Homo-oligomer: A and B are copies of this chain.
Amino acid sequence: MGFVLHPRLMADTAVIVDWSLSRVLLMNDKRFPWIVLVPRRPNLAELFDLDETSRTVLTHEIARAAERLKGWASRRGGTDKINVGIIGNLVPQLHVHVVSRKRGDAVWPGTVWGAGQPEHYGAAELMRVVGEIRDAL
């Protein structure tokens, strides 16, 4: 079977764009500018499940997402650090979190995973932010 986005990721995010390897998603949590990259290949759990060439592509996609998200966040309300995480303790499908963090944000200096409750965007706001970040990426 080909690539199918994990239902938990589908429920928690909105699609921004497909890049050459990854589907780029916006986490529906307005506490943080938070992108998730999911390589569009079946049966991946760990970074080393990708062949070397794809791993290189993924790295460049992560770096691009991080740099552009930093630019977008700095124009929007500021950013102090980009956090990148490949966790997967709950959702086994390989996915990469790229999160813009700011001193004094909801969980600073802690990490965002499992911290507090997500605050969802309103429907119109979600569409607007998806569009803005798509343009920024």
Binding site for B on A (CB under 8 A): 45-48, 50, 52, 55-56, 58-60, 62-64, 66-67, 70, 80-90, 92, 101, 108-111, 113-114
Copies of the chain in the assembly: 2
A108 CB → nearest B CB, Å: 7
Question: CB-CB < 8 A to A82: which residues of B?
Answer: 46-47, 86
Question: CB-CB < 8 A to A89: which residues of B?
Answer: 80-81, 83, 101, 108-111
Known: A87-B83, A89-B101, A111-B113. A55 touches B47 (CB 8 A): no
**Residue of B62, B88, B110, B114 touching A47 (CB-CB under 8 A):** B62
Q: Is the CB of A55 within 8 A of B63?
A: yes
